[in-house]
A = this chain, B = another copy of it.
Amino acid sequence: MPARTKKRRLASDSRGPFEYRHARPALTVDCVVFGLDAEDLKLLLIQRDRAPHAAKWALPGGFVEVGERLETAALRELEEETSVNNIFLEQLYTFGEPARDPREHVVSVAYYALVKLSDHRIRASTDARDAAWVPVARARGLAFDHDRIVLTALARLKGKLRYQPIGFELLPRKFTLTQLQQLYETVLARKLDKRNFRRKILSMGLLVELDETQRDVAHRAARLYRFDRRKYQQLNRAGFNFEI
């Protein structure tokens, strides 16, 4: 990965101290990583190993290096701290309250990410750093202002899910309509009508019906579908608007 090479070079150039005419806030990135499993919506958190907020759970994140893109910094920190990579990532909001870090003024550009838990379940929890998937409902009392960042990310996810086909980023490549519906019900926190949901999502023509069904289930096996990203991009250019 070229970005990686670039980063390495920049990092090794960084022999401090560095002097500036004016004081500068520190700049970090933090990532709110969402994953979904059969039970609920989860967040990827790491346990802090030093002050401030030692032993508290926190969002993965870290300092932006000079010469590094913000998104690159977010992906780098995620990879370093949780081994999560190859994911949907989007900028969320920038948090800059002077008191949000007790040490000094630290401005943090927050990103949110959606990952297919089926792909990432094991790697994150076996990493050296203490990383874990925590149900969103139980992710309270985080370090710094991370509770607030999580709430902002949740609101964004809820808002965005209805107007952009981002839910598929949380599901395995092949999924059933019930899984998709449950995803919407979980994130939006309300029940949806099965028949209406199916009619609507299928009428958009963005799902490809596969010649495959579920396996090892103790009931009628459901049909599997996949999201047709190419078709979506095509329709999108033609002015189509996704909406559930």
Residues of A within 8 A of B (CB): 14, 16-27, 63-70, 91, 93-94, 96-98, 104-105, 107, 109
Contacts and interface: CB of A to CB of B under 8 A. Distances in A.
Nearest to A107: B27
A22 B18 contact: yes
Contact of A21 (B17, B68, B97, B107): B17
A207 B102 CA distance: 46
Nearest to A104: B66
A20 B15 CA distance: 10
Question: What is the count of identical protomers in the complex?
Answer: 2
28 contacts: A14-B23, A16-B19, A16-B23, A17-B20, A17-B21, A18-B19, A18-B21, A18-B24, A20-B24, A22-B65, A23-B65, A24-B25, A24-B66, A25-B27, A27-B27, A27-B107, A64-B96, A64-B107, A67-B98, A67-B105, A69-B97, A69-B98, A70-B107, A91-B93, A91-B94, A94-B94, A94-B109, A96-B109
Contacts of A26: 20, 24
Given A70-B94, A93-B91, A94-B109, A20 B16 contact: yes
